[in-house]
Amino acid sequence: MKTAVSSTKNSALALIFDDFKEITKARLAISVVFSSIAGYFLGAYEIQWVQVLLLAFGGYCMVGASNAYNQVIERDLDALMKRTKNRPIPTGRISVKSAMTMAIVLTLLGVMALYVLNPKTAMFGAISIFLYTSVYTPLKTITPLAVFVGAIPGAIPFMLGWVAATDDFGIEPGTLFMIQFFWQFPHFWALGWMLDDDYRSGGFKMLPTGKKDTATVLQIIMYTIWMMVVSVIPVFGITGRLQLSVIAAVIVFLMGAVMLGFAFKLYSKRDNASARKLMLASVSYITLMQIVYVIDKFLG
């Protein structure tokens, strides 16, 4: 009997944990934390692991809070889309009140953890939550320009790590911000292309022209090229302490060229399979680029 009770408790806890992961979008949150830690390693004169843990915890809380607010606001639209109809709020597994409570608690914990690092880090974290939930989320059903707004909070994490390590905002974190800012467009538009039918059923306007057309792919190509250019600017020695060796710059540029190749493939084929490959290439690019930057700093 005791075994059955403990088994039921364990399965209930597992379900709660799964719902928590889903409402905070755990995989996305972890990738954001990875970006911020990469930025921290680049900025830090000396790595302090307590700071890294605070940054990871605070970063996860801030992203988790943003996603929870987002799912509260979009609960009716989520119910209309295949991709999101089984989320915790549309299915009733988590009530709106519980989700809001979770979001508020995560916001407070996140801001406090980042404030312990330094006030600037907490401020940028708070700005990212505000822009994501109060500007980007409502604009998604109004205009494709929502992606431009969403690219701002999406680009903050890489920069945030540097600010957390140095308590300073200058050319270095600004450059990290711009790299991730330009990267957002090919990434999200490839995703928007793949999920266009689903997004339309929810009333979301995610593609720049509103259609899966030539103009959309041309913009994807243009922003990929800008991303490639900005990613190697530190090799020229004009970005302060943020530097890149020639070898690392070549590697980063070639990785961008691979992503650009997938963008051209989408231009020629204009199908969902090509958009999916571009989206996956973009995820690989941002992770590997950050790893190359960090390795280059410590080998240099």
Q: Which CATH number fits the domain that encloses residue 155? A: 1.10.357.140
pLDDT at 7: 62
User: Does 65 reside within a domain?
Assistant: yes
Percent of the chain with pLDDT over 70: 97
Do 178 and 300 share a domain, yes or no? yes
pLDDT class of 2 with cuts at 50, 70, 90: low
Cα separation, 100 vs 98, in Å, equals 5
User: Does 1 reside within a domain?
Assistant: no
Do 164 and 28 share a domain, yes or no? yes
pLDDT at 9: 66
pLDDT class of 3 with cuts at 50, 70, 90: low
User: Does 7 reside within a domain?
Assistant: no
Do 117 and 138 share a domain, yes or no? yes
* Position 87 pLDDT exceeds 90: yes
User: Does 3 reside within a domain?
Assistant: no
Q: pTM for the complete prediction?
A: 0.93
Residue 205: what are its φ and ψ, rounded to 5°?
-110, 95
pLDDT at 16: 83
User: Does 40 reside within a domain?
Assistant: yes
How many domains is the chain partitioned into structurally? 2
C-alpha pair distances (Å), 22 with each of 64, 85, 169, 201: 9, 12, 33, 21
Do 159 and 181 share a domain, yes or no? no
pLDDT at 8: 66
Q: Of 124, 150, 169, at which residue does a domain stop? A: 169
Do 270 and 145 share a domain, yes or no? no
Which structure tokens are listed for 143? Answer: 């205009």
Do 66 and 196 share a domain, yes or no? no
Cα separation, 76 vs 124, in Å, equals 30
Cα separation, 290 vs 149, in Å, equals 23
| Coil, strand or helix at 144 | coil
Do 117 and 186 share a domain, yes or no? no
Angle at 280 between CA 274 and CA 284, to 5 degrees: 140
Supply the DSSP string of 203-261, one letter for each residue.
T---STTSSSSHHHHHHHHHHHHHHHHHHHGGGGT-STT----HHHHHHHHHHHHHHHH
Q: Of 145, 169, 193, at which residue does a domain stop? A: 169
Q: What type of residue is 172?
A: E
**Using an 8 Å Cβ cutoff, are 259 and 225 in contact?**
no
Do 284 and 237 share a domain, yes or no? yes
CA torsion through residues 87, 156, 55, 136, sign: negative
Higher model confidence: residue 4 or residue 172?
A: 172
Do 247 and 153 share a domain, yes or no? no
Do 191 and 157 share a domain, yes or no? no
**Using an 8 Å Cβ cutoff, are 228 and 257 in contact?**
yes
Cα separation, 176 vs 242, in Å, equals 9
Cα separation, 176 vs 245, in Å, equals 16
Q: Which of 34-43, 72-81, 233-242, 249-258 has the lowest mean pLDDT?
A: 72-81
C-alpha pair distances (Å), 278 with each of 175, 218, 225, 235, 285: 24, 14, 14, 26, 10
Mean pLDDT of the chain: 94
Question: 51: closest CA among 108, 129, 118, 106?
Answer: 118
Q: Of 152, 169, 186, at which residue does a domain stop? A: 169
User: Does 5 reside within a domain?
Assistant: no
Do 294 and 175 share a domain, yes or no? yes
Q: Which residues are CB-contacts of 156 (< 8 A; sequence separation ≥ 6)?
A: 124, 125, 127, 128, 177
pLDDT at 13: 83
pLDDT, one tens digit per residue, over 118-127 is 999 999 999 9
pLDDT at 260: 98
**Using an 8 Å Cβ cutoff, are 103 and 133 in contact?**
no
Q: Which of 10-24, 102-116, 204-218, 280-294 has the lowest mean pLDDT?
A: 10-24
User: Does 55 reside within a domain?
Assistant: yes
pLDDT class of 5 with cuts at 50, 70, 90: low
Cα separation, 128 vs 154, in Å, equals 8
User: Does 2 reside within a domain?
Assistant: no
pLDDT, one tens digit per residue, over 202-255 is 888 899 998 999 999 999 999 999 999 999 999 999 999 999 999 999 999 999
For residue 203, what are the domain limits?
170-300
pLDDT class of 6 with cuts at 50, 70, 90: low
Question: 170: closest CA among 238, 248, 102?
Answer: 238
**Using an 8 Å Cβ cutoff, are 90 and 38 in contact?**
no
Do 117 and 31 share a domain, yes or no? yes
